């Protein structure tokens, strides 16, 4: 079974991103979902506009997509600007700033390391879902801690909209 890191790489070099995701949009943190007994990885694509001094603008996501794990086959693709769910969103206005408070103390390497930890916890959860080793309470709390810390507060509504079950479980206040 491939790791979530490899999976994301496959998504990034797959035909969906190549043909349907404008360059300049980056991926959100991946989230897991189960539908119809299939394991899905859901993420959204959004633009960040570089600004110095922790003033990088996070624009509202433009696309929410779900891919089947591990094959990375596209399952859902939602263009937010066309979606009735998001008519209240002004896509020209930033949704938040980066870096947010929870990660302000992390430099680039430390941030990448935390992200890697998040991926590893996802790998553990995926393994458990497939019938592998137990996913303990400690694992769950750690995954929640990492997700809550890394997810950008300005984008919380979009994380929730993209993958409600996952966020209910792991996005903690």
Instruction: Single out the residue of 151, 50, 45, 154 nearest to residue 169, CA to CA.
Output: 151
Residue 116 in the binding site for another protein (CB under 8 A): no
Site map for another protein, 39-78, x if CB under 8 A?
Answer: x------xxxxxxx-xxxxxxx-x------xx--xxxxxx
Bridge partner residues of 66 (DSSP): 42, 76
Q: How far apart are CA 67 and CA 57, in angstroms?
A: 27
Touching another protein, residues 141-170 (CB under 8 A): 144, 150, 152-154, 156-158, 160-161, 165-166, 168-169
Closer CB to another protein, 120 or 160, in the complex: 160
Residue 23 in the binding site for another protein (CB under 8 A): yes
- Structure tokens of 85? 């769910």
Q: Which residues contact 24 (CB under 8 A, 6 or more apart)?
A: 47
Touching another protein, residues 84-103 (CB under 8 A): 84-90, 92-98
Backbone φ and ψ of 25, nearest 5°: -95, 135
Closer CB to another protein, 62 or 121, in the complex: 62
CB of 3 vs another protein, minimal distance in Å:
13
Q: Which of 3, 6, 21, 145 binds another protein (CB under 8 A)?
A: 21
Per DSSP, the chain holds a count of helices (H) and strands (E) of 6, 7
Residue 113 in the binding site for another protein (CB under 8 A): no
């Amino acid at each position: 079974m491939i790791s979530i890191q490899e999976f994301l790489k496959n998504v990034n070099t797959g035909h969906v991103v190549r043909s349907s995701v404008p360059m300049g949009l980056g991926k959100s943190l991946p989230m897991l979902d189960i539908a119809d007994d299939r394991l899905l990885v859901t993420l959204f694509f959004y633009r960040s506009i570089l600004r110095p001094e922790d003033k990088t603008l996070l624009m509202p996501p433009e696309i929410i997509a779900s891919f089947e794990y591990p094959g990375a086959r596209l399952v859902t693709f939602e263009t937010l600007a066309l979606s009735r769910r998001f008519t209240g969103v002004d896509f020209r206005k930033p949704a938040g700033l980066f870096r947010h408070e929870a990660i302000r103390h992390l430099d680039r390497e430390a941030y990448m390391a935390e992200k890697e930890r998040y991926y590893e916890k996802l790998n553990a959860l995926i393994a458990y879902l497939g019938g592998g080793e137990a996913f303990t309470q400690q694992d769950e709390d750690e995954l929640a801690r990492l997700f809550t810390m890394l997810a950008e507060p300005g984008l919380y509504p979009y994380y929730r909209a993209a993958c409600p079950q996952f966020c209910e479980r792991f996005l903690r206040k």
